[in-house]
Amino acid sequence: MEKTVEVLKSATIRFAGDSGDGMQIAGTRFTETSAFFGNDLNTFPDYPAEIRAPAGTLFGVSGFQIQFSSSDVYTPGDEPDVLIAMNPAALKVNIKGLKPHGTIIANEDAFSEKNLKLAGYDTNPLEDESLTGYKLIKVPITRATNNAVQELGLNAKDSNRCKNFYALGITYWLYDRPLEITMQWLEEKFKKNPVIADANIKALKAGYYFGETAEIFTTRYKVKPANLPKGTYRNITGNHAAAMGILAASLKSGLPLFLGSYPITPASDILHDLSSFKNFGVKTFQAEDEIAAICAAIGASFGGSLALTSTSGPGMALKQEAIGLAVMVELPLVIADIQRGGPSTGLPTKTEQADLFQSILGRNGECPVPVVAASSPADCFMMMFEAARIACRFMTPVIFLSDGYIANGAEPWKIPHENELPKIQGEFRTEKEGYYPYMRDEFLARPWVKPGTPGLEHRIGGLEKQNITGNVSYDPLNHEFMVKLRAEKVKNVENYIPLAEVDGDTEGELLILGWGSTYGSITTARERLISKGYNVSRLHLKYLNPFQKNLGEILSKFKKVLIPELNLGQLRHLIRAEFLVDAVGLNKIQGLPFKASEIERKVIELLEK
Protein backbone atom coordinates (compact mmCIF):
# COMPACT_ATOMS: atom_id res chain seq x y z
CA MET A 1 0.00 0.00 0.00
CA GLU A 2 1.16 3.56 -0.64
CA LYS A 3 2.49 5.36 2.43
CA THR A 4 2.03 9.05 3.11
CA VAL A 5 5.05 11.16 4.06
CA GLU A 6 4.87 13.93 6.66
CA VAL A 7 7.68 16.45 7.19
CA LEU A 8 8.33 17.31 10.86
CA LYS A 9 10.47 20.00 12.43
CA SER A 10 11.47 17.63 15.24
CA ALA A 11 10.58 14.27 16.76
CA THR A 12 11.17 12.48 20.05
CA ILE A 13 11.53 8.71 20.45
CA ARG A 14 11.93 6.66 23.61
CA PHE A 15 13.32 3.12 23.43
CA ALA A 16 12.34 1.13 26.53
CA GLY A 17 12.75 -2.47 27.57
CA ASP A 18 14.38 -4.82 30.03
CA SER A 19 17.99 -4.16 31.10
CA GLY A 20 19.10 -6.96 28.77
CA ASP A 21 17.10 -5.81 25.75
CA GLY A 22 19.81 -3.52 24.38
CA MET A 23 17.86 -0.27 24.56
CA GLN A 24 20.96 1.83 25.26
CA ILE A 25 22.62 0.34 22.16
CA ALA A 26 19.53 0.95 20.02
CA GLY A 27 19.26 4.54 21.24
CA THR A 28 22.96 5.21 20.74
CA ARG A 29 22.85 3.82 17.19
CA PHE A 30 19.81 5.96 16.34
CA THR A 31 21.68 8.94 17.78
CA GLU A 32 24.82 8.31 15.72
CA THR A 33 22.81 7.85 12.54
CA SER A 34 20.84 11.05 13.12
CA ALA A 35 24.06 12.95 13.84
CA PHE A 36 25.59 11.71 10.56
CA PHE A 37 22.34 12.61 8.81
CA GLY A 38 22.81 16.20 10.01
CA ASN A 39 20.11 16.64 12.63
CA ASP A 40 20.62 18.61 15.79
CA LEU A 41 19.82 16.33 18.71
CA ASN A 42 19.86 15.77 22.45
CA THR A 43 19.63 12.48 24.33
CA PHE A 44 18.73 11.12 27.75
CA PRO A 45 19.89 7.58 28.66
CA ASP A 46 17.91 6.31 31.66
CA TYR A 47 18.89 2.97 33.17
CA PRO A 48 18.63 1.16 36.52
CA ALA A 49 21.38 1.01 39.13
CA GLU A 50 21.22 -2.78 39.38
CA ILE A 51 23.80 -4.51 37.21
CA ARG A 52 21.17 -7.03 36.12
CA ALA A 53 17.74 -6.49 37.64
CA PRO A 54 15.27 -9.41 37.41
CA ALA A 55 13.90 -9.62 33.87
CA GLY A 56 10.43 -8.21 33.38
CA THR A 57 10.32 -6.16 36.59
CA LEU A 58 9.50 -2.45 36.80
CA PHE A 59 12.82 -1.54 38.45
CA GLY A 60 14.71 -3.36 35.70
CA VAL A 61 13.43 -1.10 32.90
CA SER A 62 16.08 0.67 30.81
CA GLY A 63 15.21 3.59 28.56
CA PHE A 64 16.84 5.90 26.03
CA GLN A 65 15.17 9.08 24.78
CA ILE A 66 16.28 11.23 21.86
CA GLN A 67 14.91 14.41 20.32
CA PHE A 68 16.24 15.12 16.82
CA SER A 69 15.42 18.17 14.78
CA SER A 70 15.96 20.29 11.68
CA SER A 71 16.61 23.28 13.98
CA ASP A 72 18.34 23.85 17.34
CA VAL A 73 17.26 21.60 20.21
CA TYR A 74 18.44 21.80 23.80
CA THR A 75 16.64 18.92 25.55
CA PRO A 76 15.77 15.27 24.83
CA GLY A 77 12.11 16.34 24.66
CA ASP A 78 9.41 16.65 27.29
CA GLU A 79 7.18 13.90 25.92
CA PRO A 80 8.04 11.20 23.37
CA ASP A 81 6.08 11.08 20.12
CA VAL A 82 6.87 7.37 19.85
CA LEU A 83 7.45 4.79 22.59
CA ILE A 84 9.11 1.50 21.67
CA ALA A 85 7.95 -0.86 24.46
CA MET A 86 9.74 -4.21 24.45
CA ASN A 87 7.73 -5.68 27.37
CA PRO A 88 4.85 -4.85 29.76
CA ALA A 89 7.14 -3.33 32.40
CA ALA A 90 8.61 -0.92 29.84
CA LEU A 91 5.10 0.13 28.85
CA LYS A 92 3.92 0.63 32.42
CA VAL A 93 6.95 2.69 33.47
CA ASN A 94 6.94 4.94 30.40
CA ILE A 95 3.32 5.32 29.32
CA LYS A 96 2.74 8.23 31.69
CA GLY A 97 5.35 10.29 29.85
CA LEU A 98 4.09 9.61 26.32
CA LYS A 99 2.51 12.50 24.40
CA PRO A 100 -1.31 12.36 24.21
CA HIS A 101 -2.30 10.44 21.07
CA GLY A 102 1.33 9.38 20.69
CA THR A 103 2.42 6.13 19.04
CA ILE A 104 3.21 2.92 20.92
CA ILE A 105 5.14 0.20 19.08
CA ALA A 106 4.86 -2.81 21.36
CA ASN A 107 6.55 -6.19 21.16
CA GLU A 108 3.38 -8.24 21.53
CA ASP A 109 5.38 -11.45 21.98
CA ALA A 110 6.62 -10.24 25.38
CA PHE A 111 3.12 -9.64 26.77
CA SER A 112 2.85 -13.11 28.27
CA GLU A 113 0.91 -13.94 31.41
CA LYS A 114 4.15 -14.11 33.42
CA ASN A 115 5.46 -10.74 32.22
CA LEU A 116 2.07 -9.08 32.71
CA LYS A 117 2.03 -10.29 36.31
CA LEU A 118 5.60 -9.07 36.94
CA ALA A 119 4.61 -5.63 35.67
CA GLY A 120 1.48 -5.53 37.83
CA TYR A 121 -1.11 -5.79 35.04
CA ASP A 122 -4.35 -7.66 35.76
CA THR A 123 -5.24 -7.70 32.06
CA ASN A 124 -3.29 -7.31 28.83
CA PRO A 125 -3.18 -3.57 27.98
CA LEU A 126 -2.71 -4.43 24.31
CA GLU A 127 -6.16 -6.02 24.33
CA ASP A 128 -8.27 -4.38 27.07
CA GLU A 129 -8.73 -1.00 25.32
CA SER A 130 -6.86 0.89 28.09
CA LEU A 131 -4.60 2.39 25.40
CA THR A 132 -7.36 3.87 23.23
CA GLY A 133 -5.93 7.36 23.71
CA TYR A 134 -2.81 6.33 21.77
CA LYS A 135 -1.96 4.92 18.38
CA LEU A 136 -1.10 1.31 19.25
CA ILE A 137 0.97 -0.76 16.83
CA LYS A 138 1.46 -4.38 17.87
CA VAL A 139 4.47 -6.08 16.30
CA PRO A 140 5.64 -9.67 16.94
CA ILE A 141 9.23 -8.46 17.33
CA THR A 142 10.64 -11.56 19.02
CA ARG A 143 9.16 -14.03 16.51
CA ALA A 144 10.01 -11.83 13.52
CA THR A 145 13.62 -11.51 14.73
CA ASN A 146 13.96 -15.27 15.18
CA ASN A 147 12.60 -15.83 11.69
CA ALA A 148 15.02 -13.30 10.23
CA VAL A 149 18.12 -14.97 11.72
CA GLN A 150 16.92 -18.58 11.59
CA GLU A 151 19.18 -19.63 8.72
CA LEU A 152 22.31 -18.68 10.69
CA GLY A 153 21.79 -21.49 13.22
CA LEU A 154 22.03 -19.34 16.37
CA ASN A 155 20.73 -20.62 19.67
CA ALA A 156 17.55 -19.10 21.09
CA LYS A 157 19.40 -16.75 23.45
CA ASP A 158 21.59 -15.24 20.74
CA SER A 159 18.64 -14.94 18.39
CA ASN A 160 16.60 -13.04 20.97
CA ARG A 161 19.46 -10.64 21.56
CA CYS A 162 19.02 -9.30 18.03
CA LYS A 163 15.50 -8.00 18.64
CA ASN A 164 16.71 -4.52 19.61
CA PHE A 165 18.04 -4.13 16.06
CA TYR A 166 14.71 -5.29 14.64
CA ALA A 167 13.01 -2.53 16.65
CA LEU A 168 15.72 -0.10 15.52
CA GLY A 169 15.05 -1.06 11.89
CA ILE A 170 11.38 -0.14 12.32
CA THR A 171 12.29 3.31 13.66
CA TYR A 172 14.81 3.81 10.84
CA TRP A 173 12.03 3.21 8.32
CA LEU A 174 9.55 5.32 10.27
CA TYR A 175 11.87 8.36 10.27
CA ASP A 176 13.67 7.76 6.97
CA ARG A 177 17.10 7.00 8.46
CA PRO A 178 19.82 5.19 6.47
CA LEU A 179 20.87 1.67 7.51
CA GLU A 180 24.46 1.77 6.27
CA ILE A 181 26.00 3.59 9.24
CA THR A 182 24.68 1.02 11.72
CA MET A 183 25.61 -1.88 9.44
CA GLN A 184 29.20 -0.63 9.26
CA TRP A 185 29.28 -0.27 13.04
CA LEU A 186 28.04 -3.86 13.50
CA GLU A 187 30.64 -5.22 11.09
CA GLU A 188 33.41 -3.41 12.98
CA LYS A 189 32.03 -4.25 16.43
CA PHE A 190 31.73 -7.96 15.70
CA LYS A 191 34.55 -8.42 13.20
CA LYS A 192 35.84 -11.32 15.28
CA ASN A 193 32.38 -12.89 15.32
CA PRO A 194 30.88 -12.19 11.87
CA VAL A 195 27.89 -14.47 12.46
CA ILE A 196 26.64 -12.18 15.23
CA ALA A 197 27.21 -9.14 13.01
CA ASP A 198 25.29 -10.81 10.19
CA ALA A 199 22.43 -11.75 12.52
CA ASN A 200 21.99 -8.21 13.78
CA ILE A 201 22.17 -6.80 10.26
CA LYS A 202 19.49 -9.25 9.12
CA ALA A 203 17.30 -8.24 12.07
CA LEU A 204 17.87 -4.54 11.31
CA LYS A 205 16.88 -5.00 7.66
CA ALA A 206 13.90 -7.17 8.57
CA GLY A 207 12.55 -4.46 10.90
CA TYR A 208 13.09 -1.80 8.23
CA TYR A 209 11.28 -3.74 5.52
CA PHE A 210 8.51 -4.69 7.92
CA GLY A 211 7.77 -0.96 8.19
CA GLU A 212 7.90 -0.70 4.40
CA THR A 213 5.47 -3.55 3.70
CA ALA A 214 3.18 -3.82 6.73
CA GLU A 215 -0.19 -2.14 6.28
CA ILE A 216 -0.33 -1.13 9.96
CA PHE A 217 2.18 1.63 9.12
CA THR A 218 0.40 4.20 6.96
CA THR A 219 2.70 7.20 7.44
CA ARG A 220 6.42 7.79 7.62
CA TYR A 221 8.14 10.98 8.72
CA LYS A 222 11.00 13.12 7.51
CA VAL A 223 13.08 15.38 9.76
CA LYS A 224 15.44 17.33 7.54
CA PRO A 225 19.07 18.10 8.46
CA ALA A 226 19.63 21.15 10.66
CA ASN A 227 21.30 24.30 9.36
CA LEU A 228 24.29 24.16 11.72
CA PRO A 229 27.23 26.59 11.51
CA LYS A 230 29.93 25.48 9.10
CA GLY A 231 32.59 23.26 10.65
CA THR A 232 33.58 19.72 11.49
CA TYR A 233 31.19 18.02 13.89
CA ARG A 234 31.07 14.82 15.86
CA ASN A 235 28.47 13.38 18.18
CA ILE A 236 29.78 13.49 21.74
CA THR A 237 28.69 12.61 25.27
CA GLY A 238 29.45 14.86 28.22
CA ASN A 239 31.98 12.50 29.78
CA HIS A 240 33.86 12.05 26.52
CA ALA A 241 33.83 15.81 25.97
CA ALA A 242 35.28 16.29 29.47
CA ALA A 243 38.06 13.81 28.71
CA MET A 244 38.81 15.57 25.42
CA GLY A 245 38.79 18.95 27.18
CA ILE A 246 41.45 18.02 29.73
CA LEU A 247 43.48 16.29 26.98
CA ALA A 248 43.35 19.48 24.91
CA ALA A 249 44.50 21.43 27.98
CA SER A 250 47.45 19.06 28.35
CA LEU A 251 48.49 19.49 24.72
CA LYS A 252 47.94 23.27 24.76
CA SER A 253 50.00 23.73 27.93
CA GLY A 254 52.69 21.20 27.07
CA LEU A 255 52.14 19.50 30.43
CA PRO A 256 51.86 15.69 30.65
CA LEU A 257 48.39 14.59 31.79
CA PHE A 258 47.85 12.37 34.82
CA LEU A 259 44.49 11.03 36.02
CA GLY A 260 44.15 9.44 39.44
CA SER A 261 40.68 7.94 39.74
CA TYR A 262 38.52 5.34 41.42
CA PRO A 263 35.62 3.96 39.33
CA ILE A 264 32.24 5.43 40.28
CA THR A 265 28.99 5.95 38.39
CA PRO A 266 28.51 8.20 36.44
CA ALA A 267 32.16 9.39 36.22
CA SER A 268 33.90 6.15 35.19
CA ASP A 269 33.78 6.88 31.44
CA ILE A 270 36.33 9.69 31.91
CA LEU A 271 38.80 7.11 33.23
CA HIS A 272 37.92 4.71 30.41
CA ASP A 273 38.34 7.37 27.72
CA LEU A 274 41.60 8.86 28.96
CA SER A 275 43.16 5.40 29.35
CA SER A 276 42.94 5.06 25.56
CA PHE A 277 45.14 8.12 24.91
CA LYS A 278 48.51 6.65 25.84
CA ASN A 279 49.79 7.83 22.46
CA PHE A 280 49.47 11.39 23.80
CA GLY A 281 51.48 10.52 26.90
CA VAL A 282 48.43 10.31 29.17
CA LYS A 283 48.94 8.32 32.36
CA THR A 284 45.86 6.91 34.10
CA PHE A 285 45.94 5.33 37.54
CA GLN A 286 43.00 3.34 38.89
CA ALA A 287 43.54 3.65 42.63
CA GLU A 288 42.31 1.42 45.43
CA ASP A 289 40.02 4.15 46.78
CA GLU A 290 39.01 7.79 46.33
CA ILE A 291 41.56 9.13 48.81
CA ALA A 292 44.46 7.37 47.11
CA ALA A 293 43.23 8.62 43.74
CA ILE A 294 43.33 12.32 44.64
CA CYS A 295 46.55 12.01 46.66
CA ALA A 296 48.25 10.42 43.66
CA ALA A 297 46.97 13.30 41.51
CA ILE A 298 48.40 15.84 43.97
CA GLY A 299 51.73 14.01 43.82
CA ALA A 300 51.63 14.14 40.03
CA SER A 301 50.97 17.88 40.14
CA PHE A 302 53.91 18.36 42.50
CA GLY A 303 56.00 16.43 39.98
CA GLY A 304 55.02 18.74 37.12
CA SER A 305 51.97 17.12 35.50
CA LEU A 306 48.57 18.53 34.67
CA ALA A 307 46.65 16.50 37.24
CA LEU A 308 43.02 15.41 37.28
CA THR A 309 40.92 13.30 39.60
CA SER A 310 37.36 12.27 38.69
CA THR A 311 34.51 11.13 40.91
CA SER A 312 30.88 11.62 41.91
CA GLY A 313 29.22 12.87 45.12
CA PRO A 314 30.20 10.08 47.55
CA GLY A 315 33.77 10.20 46.27
CA MET A 316 33.86 13.98 46.64
CA ALA A 317 33.06 13.54 50.33
CA LEU A 318 36.08 11.27 50.71
CA LYS A 319 38.37 13.61 48.76
CA GLN A 320 37.66 16.74 50.80
CA GLU A 321 40.65 16.54 53.18
CA ALA A 322 43.02 16.03 50.26
CA ILE A 323 41.42 18.98 48.40
CA GLY A 324 42.32 21.00 51.50
CA LEU A 325 45.89 19.72 51.19
CA ALA A 326 46.01 20.91 47.55
CA VAL A 327 44.72 24.32 48.71
CA MET A 328 47.39 24.50 51.42
CA VAL A 329 50.31 23.52 49.19
CA GLU A 330 48.87 25.64 46.34
CA LEU A 331 49.23 23.20 43.47
CA PRO A 332 47.09 23.08 40.31
CA LEU A 333 44.59 20.22 40.29
CA VAL A 334 41.25 19.62 38.53
CA ILE A 335 38.60 17.71 40.46
CA ALA A 336 35.79 16.50 38.17
CA ASP A 337 32.58 15.82 40.10
CA ILE A 338 29.95 14.14 37.92
CA GLN A 339 26.99 14.58 40.23
CA ARG A 340 24.29 12.01 41.00
CA GLY A 341 21.42 11.65 43.44
CA GLY A 342 22.35 11.39 47.12
CA PRO A 343 22.97 11.31 50.01
CA SER A 344 25.23 8.32 50.63
CA THR A 345 25.01 5.83 47.74
CA GLY A 346 21.72 7.48 46.82
CA LEU A 347 20.68 7.11 43.18
CA PRO A 348 23.85 6.03 41.34
CA THR A 349 22.38 6.16 37.82
CA LYS A 350 20.05 9.15 38.27
CA THR A 351 20.88 12.82 37.93
CA GLU A 352 20.89 15.62 40.51
CA GLN A 353 22.61 18.98 41.06
CA ALA A 354 23.49 17.68 44.49
CA ASP A 355 27.02 18.89 45.21
CA LEU A 356 27.14 22.67 44.88
CA PHE A 357 27.28 23.20 48.65
CA GLN A 358 29.85 20.42 48.98
CA SER A 359 32.01 21.97 46.26
CA ILE A 360 31.97 25.52 47.60
CA LEU A 361 31.63 24.96 51.35
CA GLY A 362 32.61 21.35 51.89
CA ARG A 363 36.05 21.42 53.54
CA ASN A 364 37.30 22.01 57.05
CA GLY A 365 38.70 25.46 57.81
CA GLU A 366 38.64 28.44 55.49
CA CYS A 367 39.37 26.59 52.27
CA PRO A 368 38.08 28.35 49.12
CA VAL A 369 38.27 26.64 45.73
CA PRO A 370 37.18 27.94 42.31
CA VAL A 371 34.16 26.05 40.94
CA VAL A 372 32.98 25.88 37.31
CA ALA A 373 30.05 23.98 35.80
CA ALA A 374 29.25 22.68 32.31
CA SER A 375 25.82 23.36 30.83
CA SER A 376 25.53 20.67 28.15
CA PRO A 377 27.36 17.57 26.87
CA ALA A 378 29.42 19.55 24.35
CA ASP A 379 30.10 22.33 26.89
CA CYS A 380 31.92 19.80 29.10
CA PHE A 381 34.88 20.17 26.72
CA MET A 382 35.28 23.91 27.14
CA MET A 383 34.56 24.05 30.87
CA MET A 384 37.00 21.23 31.63
CA PHE A 385 39.58 23.13 29.58
CA GLU A 386 38.68 26.29 31.52
CA ALA A 387 39.09 24.49 34.86
CA ALA A 388 42.62 23.49 33.85
CA ARG A 389 43.39 27.03 32.68
CA ILE A 390 42.32 28.57 36.00
CA ALA A 391 44.13 25.87 38.02
CA CYS A 392 47.46 26.47 36.27
CA ARG A 393 47.21 30.28 36.21
CA PHE A 394 46.30 30.63 39.91
CA MET A 395 48.09 27.54 41.29
CA THR A 396 44.97 26.17 42.95
CA PRO A 397 42.67 23.15 42.78
CA VAL A 398 39.54 23.80 40.68
CA ILE A 399 36.29 21.81 40.85
CA PHE A 400 34.54 20.99 37.57
CA LEU A 401 30.85 20.10 37.94
CA SER A 402 28.83 18.01 35.54
CA ASP A 403 26.04 15.51 36.30
CA GLY A 404 24.65 12.20 35.12
CA TYR A 405 22.21 13.81 32.69
CA ILE A 406 24.77 15.68 30.59
CA ALA A 407 27.58 13.18 31.27
CA ASN A 408 25.68 10.36 29.56
CA GLY A 409 23.67 12.53 27.17
CA ALA A 410 24.91 13.37 23.69
CA GLU A 411 24.72 16.18 21.16
CA PRO A 412 26.63 17.38 18.08
CA TRP A 413 29.89 19.15 18.95
CA LYS A 414 31.66 21.54 16.61
CA ILE A 415 35.33 20.62 16.97
CA PRO A 416 37.36 23.76 17.71
CA HIS A 417 40.65 24.53 16.01
CA GLU A 418 43.70 24.62 18.26
CA ASN A 419 44.07 28.35 17.54
CA GLU A 420 40.62 29.00 19.02
CA LEU A 421 41.70 27.69 22.43
CA PRO A 422 43.33 30.14 24.88
CA LYS A 423 46.85 29.67 26.18
CA ILE A 424 47.37 27.69 29.39
CA GLN A 425 50.18 28.48 31.78
CA GLY A 426 52.58 25.55 31.81
CA GLU A 427 55.89 27.08 32.89
CA PHE A 428 58.11 26.06 35.80
CA ARG A 429 60.51 28.26 37.71
CA THR A 430 64.14 27.33 37.27
CA GLU A 431 65.84 30.61 38.30
CA LYS A 432 67.06 30.24 41.86
CA GLU A 433 68.06 33.89 42.34
CA GLY A 434 65.51 35.56 44.65
CA TYR A 435 63.39 32.41 44.93
CA TYR A 436 61.03 31.71 47.81
CA PRO A 437 58.40 28.92 47.73
CA TYR A 438 55.49 31.23 48.60
CA MET A 439 56.46 34.40 46.81
CA ARG A 440 53.62 35.75 44.63
CA ASP A 441 53.06 37.05 41.11
CA GLU A 442 50.36 39.50 40.01
CA PHE A 443 47.75 36.70 40.23
CA LEU A 444 48.86 35.88 43.80
CA ALA A 445 50.05 32.52 42.48
CA ARG A 446 53.20 31.00 43.94
CA PRO A 447 55.93 29.55 41.68
CA TRP A 448 55.51 26.04 40.25
CA VAL A 449 58.78 24.18 40.80
CA LYS A 450 59.57 20.61 39.83
CA PRO A 451 61.06 18.65 42.74
CA GLY A 452 64.80 18.23 42.45
CA THR A 453 65.39 21.54 40.66
CA PRO A 454 68.82 22.65 42.03
CA GLY A 455 68.56 25.46 44.55
CA LEU A 456 64.77 25.49 44.56
CA GLU A 457 64.14 22.81 47.17
CA HIS A 458 61.14 23.55 49.41
CA ARG A 459 58.73 22.00 51.90
CA ILE A 460 55.16 21.01 51.19
CA GLY A 461 52.52 19.54 53.50
CA GLY A 462 49.23 20.26 55.20
CA LEU A 463 50.54 22.41 58.07
CA GLU A 464 50.13 26.16 57.80
CA LYS A 465 52.86 27.91 55.83
CA GLN A 466 54.77 31.00 56.77
CA ASN A 467 54.25 33.77 54.24
CA ILE A 468 56.97 33.87 51.55
CA THR A 469 59.30 31.20 53.04
CA GLY A 470 56.81 28.31 53.23
CA ASN A 471 58.21 27.23 56.60
CA VAL A 472 55.77 25.61 59.04
CA SER A 473 54.18 28.38 61.11
CA TYR A 474 51.81 28.39 64.08
CA ASP A 475 51.88 32.18 64.43
CA PRO A 476 48.26 33.45 64.83
CA LEU A 477 48.70 36.59 62.75
CA ASN A 478 50.48 34.70 59.97
CA HIS A 479 47.67 32.15 59.88
CA GLU A 480 45.04 34.88 59.53
CA PHE A 481 47.11 36.57 56.82
CA MET A 482 47.52 33.35 54.82
CA VAL A 483 43.82 32.47 55.11
CA LYS A 484 42.87 35.89 53.73
CA LEU A 485 45.56 35.69 51.05
CA ARG A 486 44.28 32.35 49.72
CA ALA A 487 40.72 33.72 49.74
CA GLU A 488 41.82 36.83 47.86
CA LYS A 489 43.57 34.68 45.26
CA VAL A 490 40.36 32.76 44.54
CA LYS A 491 38.36 36.00 44.52
CA ASN A 492 40.77 37.40 41.92
CA VAL A 493 39.65 34.71 39.48
CA GLU A 494 36.65 36.98 38.76
CA ASN A 495 39.02 39.32 36.90
CA TYR A 496 40.17 36.46 34.66
CA ILE A 497 36.76 35.17 33.49
CA PRO A 498 34.21 36.75 31.12
CA LEU A 499 31.42 38.95 32.43
CA ALA A 500 27.93 37.46 32.72
CA GLU A 501 25.70 38.07 29.69
CA VAL A 502 21.90 38.12 29.78
CA ASP A 503 19.92 36.48 27.00
CA GLY A 504 17.13 39.00 26.41
CA ASP A 505 16.45 42.36 28.04
CA THR A 506 19.00 43.35 30.67
CA GLU A 507 16.27 44.55 33.03
CA GLY A 508 12.61 43.76 33.47
CA GLU A 509 9.98 41.68 35.18
CA LEU A 510 11.61 38.26 35.44
CA LEU A 511 15.01 36.64 35.00
CA ILE A 512 15.47 32.88 34.90
CA LEU A 513 18.83 32.15 36.52
CA GLY A 514 20.30 28.69 36.12
CA TRP A 515 23.49 26.66 36.31
CA GLY A 516 24.67 23.30 35.02
CA SER A 517 22.38 20.90 33.23
CA THR A 518 19.21 23.00 33.57
CA TYR A 519 20.46 25.02 30.59
CA GLY A 520 18.54 23.10 27.93
CA SER A 521 15.21 23.08 29.74
CA ILE A 522 15.48 26.78 30.67
CA THR A 523 16.42 27.77 27.12
CA THR A 524 13.56 25.79 25.60
CA ALA A 525 11.08 27.12 28.16
CA ARG A 526 12.12 30.70 27.44
CA GLU A 527 11.74 30.20 23.67
CA ARG A 528 8.18 28.93 24.23
CA LEU A 529 7.37 31.82 26.56
CA ILE A 530 8.69 34.41 24.09
CA SER A 531 6.53 32.85 21.34
CA LYS A 532 3.49 33.28 23.62
CA GLY A 533 4.21 36.95 24.21
CA TYR A 534 5.92 36.82 27.62
CA ASN A 535 9.02 39.00 28.00
CA VAL A 536 11.44 36.83 29.98
CA SER A 537 15.23 37.02 30.22
CA ARG A 538 17.71 34.25 30.95
CA LEU A 539 21.18 34.04 32.50
CA HIS A 540 23.10 30.81 32.88
CA LEU A 541 26.07 30.60 35.25
CA LYS A 542 29.18 28.58 34.42
CA TYR A 543 31.34 30.19 37.11
CA LEU A 544 30.00 29.47 40.59
CA ASN A 545 32.96 30.43 42.77
CA PRO A 546 33.71 33.20 42.41
CA PHE A 547 30.62 34.54 40.67
CA GLN A 548 31.17 36.86 37.71
CA LYS A 549 31.74 40.34 39.09
CA ASN A 550 28.77 41.97 37.31
CA LEU A 551 26.25 39.37 38.52
CA GLY A 552 24.95 41.43 41.44
CA GLU A 553 24.31 44.44 39.20
CA ILE A 554 22.37 42.27 36.74
CA LEU A 555 20.19 40.68 39.42
CA SER A 556 19.29 44.06 40.90
CA LYS A 557 17.60 45.11 37.64
CA PHE A 558 14.90 42.43 37.69
CA LYS A 559 11.75 42.43 39.82
CA LYS A 560 11.72 38.64 40.09
CA VAL A 561 14.47 36.02 39.82
CA LEU A 562 13.54 32.35 39.31
CA ILE A 563 16.20 29.67 39.93
CA PRO A 564 15.31 26.13 38.71
CA GLU A 565 17.56 23.53 40.34
CA LEU A 566 17.72 19.76 40.71
CA ASN A 567 18.16 20.14 44.48
CA LEU A 568 16.41 21.93 47.35
CA GLY A 569 17.80 25.35 46.43
CA GLN A 570 21.58 25.42 46.80
CA LEU A 571 22.30 28.18 44.27
CA ARG A 572 19.26 30.10 45.52
CA HIS A 573 20.73 30.01 49.03
CA LEU A 574 24.08 31.34 47.79
CA ILE A 575 22.48 34.07 45.67
CA ARG A 576 20.34 35.25 48.58
CA ALA A 577 23.35 35.31 50.92
CA GLU A 578 25.71 37.04 48.48
CA PHE A 579 23.40 39.58 46.84
CA LEU A 580 20.38 39.85 49.20
CA VAL A 581 18.09 38.99 46.27
CA ASP A 582 14.82 37.30 47.24
CA ALA A 583 15.09 34.69 44.50
CA VAL A 584 12.30 32.15 43.98
CA GLY A 585 13.19 28.48 43.66
CA LEU A 586 11.79 25.79 41.40
CA ASN A 587 13.16 22.57 42.84
CA LYS A 588 13.00 18.96 41.65
CA ILE A 589 14.70 15.99 43.30
CA GLN A 590 13.38 12.98 41.36
CA GLY A 591 16.57 11.79 39.67
CA LEU A 592 15.22 13.23 36.40
CA PRO A 593 16.00 16.46 34.51
CA PHE A 594 13.47 19.28 34.26
CA LYS A 595 10.93 19.27 31.50
CA ALA A 596 10.77 22.63 29.76
CA SER A 597 7.01 22.65 30.41
CA GLU A 598 7.63 22.57 34.19
CA ILE A 599 9.71 25.75 34.02
CA GLU A 600 7.28 27.35 31.59
CA ARG A 601 4.33 26.81 33.95
CA LYS A 602 6.25 28.25 36.92
CA VAL A 603 7.21 31.40 35.00
CA ILE A 604 3.60 32.00 33.92
CA GLU A 605 2.47 31.49 37.52
CA LEU A 606 4.96 34.12 38.76
CA LEU A 607 4.13 36.63 36.02
CA GLU A 608 0.37 36.34 36.43
CA LYS A 609 0.31 36.65 40.23
DSSP-assigned letters across all residues of 320-372 = HHHHHHHHHHT--EEEEEEE-B-STT-BTTS-----HHHHHH-SSSS----EE
Domains detected in the chain: 4-223 (3.40.920.10), 235-420 (3.40.50.970), 508-608 (3.40.50.920)
Strands 10-18 and 61-69: antiparallel
The three-state secondary structure class of 455 is coil
Q: Which residues in the chain come in under a pLDDT of 50?
A: none
pTM: 0.96
User: Prior bond to 348 cis, omega within 30?
Assistant: no
Q: Which of 146, 142, 139, 203 is nearest to 169 (CA)?
A: 203
pLDDT of 170 reads 98
The three-state secondary structure class of 99 is coil
Asked if 118 and 41 count as a contact pair (C-beta separation under 8 A), the reply is no
pLDDT of 459 reads 84
Backbone angles phi, psi at 225, to 5 degrees: -60, 150
pLDDT of 50 reads 81
**Angle separating helix axes 163-174 and 194-213, nearest 10 degrees:** 40
User: Prior bond to 377 cis, omega within 30?
Assistant: no
pLDDT of 1 reads 66
The three-state secondary structure class of 195 is helix
pLDDT of 2 reads 76
Other beta carbons within 10 angstroms of residue 149's beta carbon come to 26
Largest CA distance in the chain: 89
Which residues, other chains included, contact 400 with Cβ-Cβ below 8 Å and sequence gap of 6+? 242, 334, 335, 336, 337, 372, 373, 374, 383, 384, 387
Predicted confidence (pLDDT) per residue in 429-442, tens digit:
999 999 999 999 99
pLDDT of 61 reads 96
**Exposure class string for 71-96: b at 16+ Cβ within 10 A, else e:** eebbbbbbbbbbbbbbbbbbbbbbbe
d(CA 567, CA 515): 12
For residues 522, 523, 529, 530, the Cα torsion angle rounded to the nearest 10 degrees is 150
d(CA 160, CA 168): 14
Predicted confidence (pLDDT) per residue in 30-61, tens digit:
999 999 999 999 999 999 988 778 889 999 99
